[in-house]
Structure 1
Amino acid sequence: MGRQRRRRLPAEPVAVEIHDLAHDGRGVGRIEDKVVFVHGALPGERVLARLTGRNRKFDEAIALAVEQASDERVEPRCEWFGNCGGCALQHLDAGAQVRWKQGRLVENLKRIGGVAPERWLEPVVAEPWNYRRRARLSARWVPGKGRVLVGFREVGGRYVAEIEGCEVLHPVFADRLMSLSALIGGLSIPDRVAQVECAAGDDSAAIVLRHLEPLTDADLEALVGWSEANGIAVWLQPKGPDTVHRLHPAEHRLSYRLDAFDLELVFHPQHFVQVNAAINRQLTERAVDLLDCGPDDRVLDLFCGLGNFSLPLATRAGAVLGVELDAAMVQAAERNAAANGLTNARFKAADLQQPVEQLEWLKGDFDRVLIDPPRSGALEVLPVIAASGARRVVYVSCDPATLARDAGELVRTHGYRLASAGVADMFPHTAHVESIAVFEREAA
């Protein structure tokens, strides 16, 4: 059925008037009263588009030509934009991207949460290019092209995009995709390397090569040679995440500084760290300022990771407890606290979805809570926040929909008010929306 539907797609382009942007950055229009999502189109535009897919409720298309352009349209900086799925909005002015993201947060809070902040925060922005210090790139041997493709997936996500560089990757990786292609293509198993994970600290960088078959001695020698020539550490992952190990050099360290707090945080190449270093520096400062804690305050940091927010907070608060499910991240946070001489920050590995009464570490009031959950949000954790006794909560979110849902619950069920909210442009040129919100409630 799927092949039959694709054969029935019209070969001729169709004209579409675009009136909105969808949550993934595609233009929204209509063809004969049916919604169509058009990649590469902006609100206010009339485009000629080729249909790429049909569903019962909507169609999908890609813009081929712009007959009437938006005033906010710009020339994409990357020559592969439109084919590579790593970016969705390079054709939209950077300032307009931020305004659109702010609008998404406004709309989600209103529609999903039924709430609005008392004050809107200024967006957190920085240089929108070469910002991605972490990325997971696909690798695929393509005999017809005679090489290994290394990069993000194509628009639609089926194949690896054929690109030679990347305008959003950290500078240490941006121009090395062809070098990685040649490296993998020269191995004995070019068709069995599935992924290249990139991670850059402030002063060093590493790749993690996911290989599905054993490497030969000659392969290992080639990898060591590439590492030395490029000044990038090479790690290998032959099986699951617990098999990741460093190949070369013998000693290597990734770290980043938070200069406003005189801190340095060390991380493993597969640890979660915020992708955009410049935005993260500003975001940690804003979160600490908004939480407004002093030397007598006890602070609870939920989903604390390796201490990205916990340690800056510990420079201001009396005591900080960071809680995280991943025991390896807790150990990293403990090492970072010790290395920075912070004795008032402690960390605990715990399942945050347990019933509140079973959480021994929650006994005793907290004055402030910071939460930085995954995309799924923190619905199950909201009772923990409410039971903490905290009068102020700062919520850092990577999904405006789950933030809006949780905001409505905090306000209507747990007695908080939404004091302020705003966005941070963590992923320029993509539809990803990072945001921060402050909740307050009166003392019981």
Structure 2
Amino acid sequence: MAQFFKPQKKSVAKEKKQLKIDSLNHDGIGVSRDNNKVCFVEGALPGEIVLAQPIQAKAKFERLTVQKIIESNIYRVKPFCEHYQLCGGCQLQHLAPEQQMIEKQKAVSSLFDKFLGTSNSSTLHDLNWQPAIESAPLAYRRTARIAVFYDKRKNELLLGYRQKGSKKIINIKNCLVLESCFSDIFSVFSPLLAKLKAAQSITHLQLYKTENQALIVIRHIKALNEKDIKSIVAATEPYKWQLVFEGETGQYQFYNKNPDEQVEINKNKTHLLHYYLDEFDLKLNFSLDNFIQVNHKVNRLMLKQAIDWLNLNRNEKILDLFCGIGNFSLPMAKIANKVVGIEGVASSVEMAKFNALDNKVTNTEFYCQDLNEPMVKAKWFKQEYDVLLLDPSRAGAFDILSQLKLKRFSRILYVSCDPVTLARDSKLIIDAGFKIDKVSLMNMFPHTGHVETMALFIPSRS
């Protein structure tokens, strides 16, 4: 009888390791080396000597978690959240807030140095770092998704976030980074959802804080009966939350809201939400399908800095790639001659057009285009521009940057939510004849490993 070889799973070494932490990486994780292998140590800080437990071993790297701190970083602090050790929402509560941005800047500088190389004119040593855009340390999240999971085996409902390094959901009692209007969300919904007949049908809660209301979208995969709906309404009524039910079809049902208040956008009727950009006398509308920045304060400061750095004038034409609902396009249109915005999500393009109309901004054009595809035949692609603005997703903008004739732009402003793809794309921009004029971090997500960066590029001959 033939015998088949069945490889055994590689076991992770159980022995704890004593390590000296050299730095934090761009995810806020401690970095060390052991026998020429890179060690990523969760919960460790630069300069610390720790005893760490391996949790994953690969050929070139190893993941570990701190078991004991032998020598501590002077900026180590006690986390303010009781769930911090388990919850995957925050990664840097153990580091003093004033030091978080310093360590993030070091991590981003290292990435630039890695991708650009020491022979490049824009290296680790001469990046023109500007002061970071700061956030309130708490109550800064105006949007969030809270997971709901019914454990049949334990007959237990879990309401919270994913556990660190796991897909498991852990129960949360309170989340201090949410806007204060949601401070009671867990104490209200945990007992409420557990009592519902349809508890197993609810998958998550989506939170939105707008200018004049707080919304809770209740996502369910099966229809809720009238009794369950009444129970939800009764329990939440004292908090004045606007309830929205999202069923399996993806349609949103705003509870106790007049259907006549809906607005038709591209033949689809929807209730609109909005936020104000007072500095630019703008009201930005959005629907529940649209992306908006999590941190309203940082968003406003980010827009102001972008316009200050670009020093726009009334004669210039701007190409805004990954424009969304017009968050950058419309403020810049108030100053420039014209703004052309490109976005891959059709609903966001329609909302950007609506926002321009609603704000009486007449010098914008918006097009729906997958920016990972060839652009040579696109009408907007052939036009002449003075300034390029990019605000891509974590995947970056390599594909579209590879197609554009970058030398026609006098300035390129790159707003990034992933420093790895920013550093990678920066090399492409620099190789096209640009240099980095200035860079800054934006503290969009305090206490997390997320890094938001703004970089301005100008022709190297300048």
- Say yes or no: TM over 0.5: yes
CA contact (8 A) 1:205 1:254 kept: no
Instruction: Work out the CA distance in 2 between the residues paired with 1:224 and 1:162.
Output: 22
The one-character-per-residue Cα deviations of 1:30-67 (angstroms, maximum 9, x if unpaired) are 56665443322212222333443444444333323323
Q: In structure 2, which of residues 278, 291, 296 is the aligned counterpart of residue 277 of structure 1?
A: 296
Instruction: Work out the CA distance in 1 between the residues paired with 2:285 and 2:254.
Output: 16
Question: What residue is the counterpart of 1:417 in the other structure?
Answer: 435
Question: What residue is the counterpart of 1:249 in the other structure?
Answer: 257
CA contact (8 A) 2:439 2:456 kept: yes
| Local SS of the residue matching 1:274 | coil
Aligned sequence identity (%): 35
Question: What residue is the counterpart of 1:88 in the other structure?
Answer: 91
Shift in CA distance, 2/287, structure 1 to aligned 2, threshold 3 Å? farther
Mean CA deviation greater in 97-106 or 172-181: 172-181
Q: In structure 2, which of residues 383, 386, 390 is the aligned counterpart of residue 364 of structure 1?
A: 383
Root mean square deviation, CA, Å: 2.6
Instruction: Work out the CA distance in 2 between the residues paired with 1:302 and 1:59.
Output: 38
Instruction: Work out the CA distance in 1 between the residues paired with 2:183 and 2:308.
Output: 34
Question: What residue is the counterpart of 2:108 in the other structure?
Answer: 105
Instruction: Work out the CA distance in 2 between the residues paired with 1:403 and 1:172.
Output: 35
- Deviation at 1:4? 7.0
CA contact (8 A) 1:227 1:248 kept: no
Instruction: Work out the CA distance in 1 between the residues paired with 2:339 and 2:17.
Output: 58
Mean CA deviation greater in 415-424 or 308-317: 415-424
Shift in CA distance, 103/364, structure 1 to aligned 2, threshold 3 Å? same
Mean CA deviation greater in 276-285 or 327-336: 327-336
TM-score (norm 1): 0.91
CA contact (8 A) 2:135 2:446 kept: no
Instruction: Work out the CA distance in 2 between the residues paired with 1:131 and 1:47.
Output: 32
Unaligned runs of 5+ in 1: none
Q: In structure 2, which of residues 319, 323, 328 is the aligned counterpart of residue 304 of structure 1?
A: 323
| Counterpart residue type for residue 213 of structure 2 | S
Instruction: Work out the CA distance in 2 between the residues paired with 1:149 and 1:405.
Output: 40
Q: Does 1:202 align with 2:211?
A: yes
The one-character-per-residue Cα deviations of 1:74-105 (angstroms, maximum 9, x if unpaired) are 11111111110000000011121101111122
Shift in CA distance, 362/55, structure 1 to aligned 2, threshold 3 Å? closer
Question: What residue is the counterpart of 1:190 in the other structure?
Answer: 199
Question: What residue is the counterpart of 2:180 in the other structure?
Answer: 171
- Deviation at 1:437? 0.9
CA contact (8 A) 1:322 1:345 kept: yes
- Deviation at 1:316? 0.7
Shift in CA distance, 200/165, structure 1 to aligned 2, threshold 3 Å? same
- How many residue pairs get aligned? The number is 440
Mean CA deviation greater in 331-340 or 428-437: 331-340
Mean CA deviation greater in 298-307 or 351-360: 351-360
Shift in CA distance, 367/205, structure 1 to aligned 2, threshold 3 Å? same
Shift in CA distance, 390/383, structure 1 to aligned 2, threshold 3 Å? same
CA contact (8 A) 1:418 1:439 kept: yes
Instruction: Work out the CA distance in 2 between the residues paired with 1:9 and 1:353.
Output: 42
CA contact (8 A) 2:160 2:172 kept: yes
Question: What residue is the counterpart of 2:268 in the other structure?
Answer: none
Instruction: Work out the CA distance in 1 between the residues paired with 2:235 and 2:409.
Output: 51
Shift in CA distance, 216/355, structure 1 to aligned 2, threshold 3 Å? same
Unaligned runs of 5+ in 2: 1-5, 262-270
TM-score (norm 2): 0.87
The one-character-per-residue Cα deviations of 1:277-321 (angstroms, maximum 9, x if unpaired) are 111110000111112211111111111101110111011111111
Q: Does 1:126 align with 2:106?
A: no
| Local SS of the residue matching 2:170 | coil
